[in-house]
Amino acid sequence: MRSEQQIRFTKLWTEVQPAVAMYVRAIVRDPHATSDIVQNTAVVLLRKFDEWDSSRDYLRWAMGIAKFELLAYHRNSGRDRLVFDESLLDALAESWPSVISEVDHEQSALQDCLETLSPKAREIVNLRYFGGLKVPKIAEQLGLTAGAIRIALMRIRHQLAGCVERRLQVHGGDA
């Protein structure tokens, strides 16, 4: 593979890798298996990069490769009770690019809305969702009761949901 092709592949893969990883993670709950499948997908894409028709959407092509890697994973791990059939994987792979676009808009709106929270509310959100702390630990750390934290989280989630919804409506889904 020529240097220009390697650079082009790297740029394209870097752009679509998060979407491919989210697709795989939505189907395979094991983080180690997800990582392996995404890496295998990247290897196949790299090997077959010369075969990619640049008039085709790269994300859709990558999703097709990821689908085959998922099928191989499920075939090789017969111990799993829940196995998706190929038609479901086809449907998911086909619709995933539009789902990712919608998730990106929602994520952007949520990020904007998080910035509108008060510092205390932002701290509670950070401790709970980014720090992974449970309500009793947050209460202990902030010197509040667990009930106060639960109520605060309920209000914060309600506030964020309303904010995200308004931003998506105002921007027609383009937060």
The tens digit of pLDDT for each residue in 64-80 reads 899 899 888 888 776 55
Q: In this structure, are 119 and 60 located in the same domain? A: no
Digit-coded pLDDT (tens) for 81-128: 555 666 766 777 777 777 676 777 788 888 899 999 999 999 999 899
Q: In this structure, are 2 and 80 located in the same domain? A: yes
Q: How many domains does the chain have?
A: 2
Using CA atoms of 35, 126, 173, 20 in order, give the dihedral in degrees to the nearest 10. 0
CATH of the domain at 137: 1.10.10.10
Q: In this structure, are 160 and 131 located in the same domain? A: yes
Higher per-residue confidence, 109 vs 135: 135
Instruction: Answer whether residue 154 is part of any domain.
Output: yes
Range of the domain at 55: 1-84
Q: In this structure, are 105 and 73 located in the same domain? A: no
Instruction: Answer whether residue 137 is part of any domain.
Output: yes
Q: Is 38 exposed, middle or buried (0-12, 13-18, 19+ CB in 10 A)?
A: buried
Q: In this structure, are 121 and 60 located in the same domain? A: no
Cα–Cα distance for residue pair 15/42, rounded to 1 Å? 12
> What pLDDT is stored for residue 85 in this prediction?
62
Instruction: Answer whether residue 96 is part of any domain.
Output: no
Look at residue 174 and tell me whether its pLDDT is greater than 70.
no
Instruction: Answer whether residue 3 is part of any domain.
Output: yes
Cα 54 vs. chain centroid, distance in angstroms? 25
173 falls in which pLDDT band (50, 70, 90)? very low
Higher per-residue confidence, 174 vs 144: 144
Give me the mean pLDDT over the 46-56 stretch.
90
Look at residue 34 and tell me whether its pLDDT is greater than 80.
yes
Instruction: Answer whether residue 92 is part of any domain.
Output: no
Please say which residue of 51, 84, 117 terminates a domain: 84
> DSSP string of the chain?
--HHHHHHHHHHHHHHHHHHHHHHHHH---HHHHHHHHHHHHHHHHHTGGG--TTS-HHHHHHHHHHHHHHHHHHH-TT-S----HHHHHHHHHHHHHHHHHHHHHHHHHHHHHHHS-HHHHHHHIIIIIS---HHHHHHHHT--HHHHHHHHHHHHHHHHHHHHHHHHHTTT--
